[in-house]
């Protein structure tokens, strides 16, 4: 069993929809990263969280340390948001399997 | 653009060969991390260097080695290549090497072993 679990594995949405991707971890971590990987393969670090909530444009990430759970929300989704989103406790070397998001126009 | 550069972008080679992947961290970053992403395994941490010294080791095979040079660039050496080594190899850098530093990823090197 992976110590970092993401859901859903795949997600298809219509443009404009509100999207939530969930990440649960079973061990203590120091910080959680949300990464975005586009079809070309490049990885972009979206957020690093150790507590609370962070917002960047249409993206919001939250983390609940007690419940060992984090969520990534995308408001007003757009086809350019189509990518694989990976939650990772990078500094603890643990990775989720990724959520493949497809946003249709 | 994260400021982390990796060369080459693509590499095609044969089984049994040896290759070197290069990474230059963002200006001012002291720590470099290497990751492997294969189709069936997802992202895996290989090794971390901080200011020239090995800081942490993950699932790195004995056939693989890395180093970080005084100018802070890093090289990942892969030898006796096997078909299963075909993957995307990413490096990332951070300011320090501890748990609370954000990591910035390079564009990756796509290695194909034929």
C-alpha span between A88 and A7 (Å, rounded):
13
Per-residue pLDDT, A1: 60
pLDDT at B99 (0 to 100): 59
Q: What are the pLDDT digits (tens) for B50-72?
A: 999 999 999 899 999 999 999 99
Distance (Å, whole) CA B30 – CA B72:
7
> Smallest Cα–Cα separation from A67: which of A23, A97, A36?
A23
Q: Report the pLDDT averaged over residues B81-98.
A: 91
Check A90 against B105: CB less than 8 A apart: no
Characterize the bridge pairing of strands A69-74 and B87-94: unpaired
Put simply, the chain B residues between 72 and 111 with a CB less than 8 A from any chain A CB are 88, 90, 92, 98-105, 107-108, 110
Select from A43, A93, A98 the Cβ nearest to the Cβ of B90.
A43
CB contact under 8 A, A95 and B103: no
Name the CA dihedral angle for B25, B28, B33, B37, rounded to a multiple of 10 degrees: -40
Average pLDDT over residues A33-58: 90
Question: pLDDT digit string (tens) for A10-33?
Answer: 999 999 999 999 999 987 777 889
Q: Provide the pLDDT confidence category of residue B77 given band limits of 50, 70 and 90.
A: very high
- As a whole number of angstroms, the distance between CA B2 and CA A104 comes to 28
pLDDT band at residue B82 using 50, 70 and 90 as cut-offs: very high
């Amino acid at each position: 069993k992976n110590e970092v679990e993401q859901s859903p594995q795949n997600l298809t949405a219509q443009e404009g929809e509100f999207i939530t991707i969930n990440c649960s971890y079973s061990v203590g971590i120091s910080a959680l990263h949300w990464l975005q990987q586009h079809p070309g393969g490049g990885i972009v670090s979206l957020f690093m969280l150790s507590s609370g909530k962070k917002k960047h444009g249409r993206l919001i990430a939250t983390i609940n340390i007690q419940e060992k759970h984090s969520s990534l929300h995308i408001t007003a989704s757009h086809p350019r948001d189509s990518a694989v989103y990976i939650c990772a406790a990078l500094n603890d070397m643990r990775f989720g399997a990724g959520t493949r998001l497809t946003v249709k126009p | 653009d994260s400021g982390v550069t990796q060369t080459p972008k693509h590499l095609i080679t044969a089984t049994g060969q040896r290759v070197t992947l290069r990474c230059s961290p963002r200006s001012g970053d002291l720590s470099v991390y290497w990751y492997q992403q294969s189709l069936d395994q997802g992202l895996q941490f290989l090794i971390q260097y901080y200011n020239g010294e090995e800081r942490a080791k993950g699932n790195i095979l004995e056939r693989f080695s890395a180093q970080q040079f005084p100018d802070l660039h890093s090289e990942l050496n892969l030898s006796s290549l096997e078909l299963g080594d075909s993957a995307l190899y990413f490096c990332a850098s951070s300011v320090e090497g501890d748990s609370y530093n954000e990591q910035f990823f390079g564009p990756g090197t796509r290695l194909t072993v034929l």
